[in-house]
Amino acid sequence: MILQLSTKAQITLEGLFTEPKQTADTLYFPFEDGIQLIVINYYDTWERQVAYKEAMQPRGMSWAAIMGPPPKNMYLFRNTEGKIVKTYHGISDGRGLKGMDYFNAGLIYLYGLRDFTEYHGYLKYYEINEQVGLINTKGEVVVPAVYDDIRRYQDLDGDWEKLIIEKDGYFGFLDTNLNVLFPPIYRCSSDTNYYGYPEHNILNDSFIKVYKNGKCGLIDENGVVLIDFKYDNLLPIHDSMIVGLLNKELINPNQYFWNNVQACEIYDVKFNLITSLDEYDHIEYNGIKRFIVKKGNLVGVVNHKGKVIIPIEYNSLAPQDNNYYVVKGNKSGVISLEGKVLIPIEYEM
């Protein structure tokens, strides 16, 4: 309960047990170029009411869910003559998060919605017909309300300068000047039910694995395509190399995924193609720049450049004590990672 109150309520302990007023606060901002912003702040009123209910009548279901979404804040803009020249709705109730399951959201997640009420202190998130945009404190539209969602993008340095824009299940980026770096054309998952989270799809500390038309590729934070969209998945491997995986059969979700990989391409740190491994029936990355490959019923080992390290002539091959235990016919032996025979393949199994 203390965690809930401290993150959700954001009010003083002195006022925690005093029943809050029911009317919303009205906030008056200074005039800018003859225009004043007035905010009717329903959200903070709702927060205080939730905190009071949680403190006085704690129960299993959060009062935030019982009371339902707060009314949206109102942004009113008046001129020096006192005439209201523009009005907008805020999105503090989460309406801008299209399809959000409000009543099943946890308190910590709901608290995160406060991130949507303003940006850089002077820009406000506003909503028209459940579409989100940004206005400044003079009522000027800075980003039009054409997106399902706008939120901060947190890079690995902890900066929140860029914004993610989402539309119809795809995401794009705005830069620090709110210019479109790239429109909403990517997903972070092959699952078409949601666009995913770019922050969770970072490869090699900087680059974002994304999907376009069902295929996986790599972009940087500016939207520059580094690896084209032709793979089922991308994975980082040894020394910051990246391997593009091609699955020639339907992936069994209950099966180790390398068992479905039948071709792949390997890129260096500058995203130059090193080699294509496309002549095998099955490929599995074995670490240390080596791949165990299968052709027909025989297996061997190749390196990241496609060079054969262990000939594809064994019935089975398995890593063992930094070497390979191999079987050929009914005989077994041990071969080093470099392909040197350590124990001749002449011992009965």
DSSP 24: P
Tell me the average pLDDT across 108-116: 42
Separation CA 295–CA 315 (nearest Å): 10
What own/partner pairs with CB < 8 Å and gap ≥ 24 does 262-265 have? 264/291, 265/231
Nearest to 282 by CA among 311, 262, 264: 262
Residues making up the chain, counted from first to last: 349
Q: What is the pLDDT of residues 49-81, one digit of tens each?
A: 888 888 888 887 778 778 877 788 889 999 999
pTM (two decimals): 0.78
Task: Report the DSSP pairing between strands 202-203 and 331-336.
Answer: unpaired
Contact 87, 45 (CB under 8 A): no
3 state DSSP class of 285: strand
- What does the block give as tokens for 218? 């790599």
> Tokens 């209201």 belong to which residue?
84
Residue 251 has pLDDT above 80, yes or no: no
Confidence band (pLDDT; 50, 70, 90) for 9? Answer: very low
> According to the per-residue pLDDT averaged within each range, which of 13-27, 37-51, 176-190 is highest?
176-190
Q: Which residue has the higher pLDDT, 134 or 112?
A: 134
Task: Report which listed range, 47-61, 120-134, 217-231, 247-261, is most confident.
Answer: 217-231
Strand, coil or helix: what is 255? coil
pLDDT surpassing 70 at residue 12: no
Q: Which residues pair with 291 in a beta bridge?
A: 285, 302
Is the pLDDT at 171 greater than 70, yes or no?
yes
More confident residue, 98 or 245: 245
What is the rounded average pLDDT of the residues 3-12? 39
Least confident of 102-111, 119-128, 139-148, 256-265: 102-111
216 pLDDT band (50/70/90 cuts)? Answer: very high
- Picking from 103, 48, 41, the residue whose alpha carbon sits closest to that of residue 71 is 41
Q: What is the mean pLDDT of the chain?
A: 83
Cα angle, residue 98 at apex, residues 140 and 131 outer, rounded to 5°: 25
The stretch 122-135 carries a mean pLDDT of: 87
Task: Give the pLDDT score at 108.
Answer: 39
Alpha helices in the chain (DSSP H): 2-4, 42-56, 63-67, 107-111
In the predicted structure, residue 14 carries a pLDDT above the cut 60: no
Rounded (5°) CA angle 37-40-46: 145
Mean pLDDT of the region 103-122: 51
Q: How far apart (Å, rounded) are the C-alpha atoms in residues 326 and 115?
A: 57
CA of 275: how far to CAs of 231, 241, 302, 320, in Å?
15, 12, 11, 27
Query: What whole-number percentage of the chain has pLDDT above 70?
Result: 83
Is residue 104's pLDDT more than 70? no
Assigned token pair, 162 = 């860029």
The DSSP bridge pattern shows strands 290-295 and 298-303 to be antiparallel
Scanning the structure block, which residue is given the tokens 């919605």?
Answer: 113
* Residue pair 205/172 in contact by the 8 Å Cβ criterion: no
Does the pLDDT at position 185 exceed 80?
A: yes
Residue 25 has a CB neighbour count (10 Å cut-off) of: 14
Task: Convert the pLDDT of each residue in 285-342 to its tens digit.
Answer: 988 899 999 998 999 999 999 999 999 999 999 988 889 999 998 899 999 999 999 9
Provide the 10 A C-beta neighbour count for residue 55. Answer: 17
Domain range annotation of the chain: 1-152
Edge-to-edge strands, sheet with 180-186: 149-152, 163-167, 170-174, 180-186
Answer whether 148's CB lies under 8 Å from 167's CB: yes
Q: How many percent of the chain have pLDDT more than 90?
A: 46
End-to-end CA separation in angstroms for the chain: 63
* Nearest to 282, CA basis, from 254, 253, 317: 317
